Amino acid sequence: MRAADDIAARRDLDPAWVRQAIGQSVYLPQIARFIQPPPAGTAKNWRVYRSRFIDPVRISAGVKFWRANAETLARAEQEYGVPAEIIVGITRDPHFGLALTLGAGGVWVELLQDATTVLLPAGRADVRRALESLRSWPLVCGYRGKPPGDVEALIDAVMAVTAYAQANATQLHELDVNPVLVLPRGRGVVAVDAMIRVTQED
């Protein structure tokens, strides 16, 4: 199976395992309906596709990361406390174009519903004001004796995301980095997971 060998080479997987996995695959019409291109003139339900096929993979990858780095993360937690988490997202508004969303990240994105949106282009001062408007912002600045987070590094990261979005504005549909862990001042930030949806060029 040449296709299996190509997949194994690109993903650095065992070719025999890939061939076996493909050989055991079963065609399911209900799955094919979601992953195949929609009929001409019909928009695909991206939210359904994402919830069924993309988010589970991202969650699995995140769990794998935390397990693989459990000791290092535990030491960091003991020394610095639990880092604040921020979500950095880009969406396309049909009327206004690209927009930046900032909010409480990780599991808090659904629980707190704490987010704000800024139309692009946005400058560093705009990003700072948007972050400071969040109800969860005190967690980044150091709450109840915890060390203050690296705010400048966080803003640097957000500006890098917006620069990427604007440089790829004609193709970009959606982007989110969640969570961005804000480490103590001087230690930077860590992007744990990211998702980018673009239109492929012919």
CATH code where residue 139 lies: 3.30.470.20
In this structure, the answer to whether residues 181 and 104 fall within a common structural domain is: yes
Lowest mean pLDDT among 14-18, 35-39, 86-90, 191-195: 35-39
In this structure, the answer to whether residues 90 and 150 fall within a common structural domain is: yes
In this structure, the answer to whether residues 90 and 159 fall within a common structural domain is: yes
Determine the 3-state secondary structure of 101 from DSSP. Answer: strand
| Domain total of the chain | 2
Q: Is residue 175 part of a domain?
A: yes
User: 74-112: per-residue pLDDT in tens?
Assistant: 776 666 666 789 999 999 887 788 999 999 887 666 667
Q: Is residue 59 part of a domain?
A: no
Give bridge partners of residue 182 from the DSSP assignment: 84, 189
pLDDT confidence of 52, banded at 50, 70, 90? low
In this structure, the answer to whether residues 145 and 91 fall within a common structural domain is: yes
**Domain boundaries, position 4:** 1-36
Per-residue confidence (pLDDT) for residue 152, from 0 to 100: 96
Report the DSSP pairing between strands 194-198 and 189-191.
Answer: unpaired
pLDDT confidence of 43, banded at 50, 70, 90? low
Question: Are the beta carbons of 118 and 99 closer than 8 angstroms?
Answer: yes
Per-residue confidence (pLDDT) for residue 50, from 0 to 100: 62
In this structure, the answer to whether residues 32 and 104 fall within a common structural domain is: no
- The pTM for the full model equals 0.64
In this structure, the answer to whether residues 107 and 170 fall within a common structural domain is: yes
Structure tokens at 106: 């990780």
In this structure, the answer to whether residues 1 and 100 fall within a common structural domain is: no
Q: Is residue 50 part of a domain?
A: no
Q: Is residue 18 part of a domain?
A: yes
Structure tokens at 127: 């990003």
**Pick from 162, 111, 153: nearest CA to 136:** 111
Looking at beta carbons, which pairs linking 16-21 to residues 24 or more positions away fall under 8 Å?
none
Q: Is residue 185 part of a domain?
A: yes
Instruction: Give the best-scoring range by mean pLDDT among 6-20, 22-36, 49-63, 132-146.
Output: 132-146
Q: Is residue 47 part of a domain?
A: no
In this structure, the answer to whether residues 156 and 92 fall within a common structural domain is: yes
pLDDT confidence of 197, banded at 50, 70, 90? confident
Per-residue confidence (pLDDT) for residue 109, from 0 to 100: 65
pLDDT confidence of 18, banded at 50, 70, 90? confident
CA distance 69 to 78: 14
Instruction: Give the best-scoring range by mean pLDDT among 41-50, 78-87, 126-135.
Output: 126-135
Residue carrying the six token digits 């020394």: 79
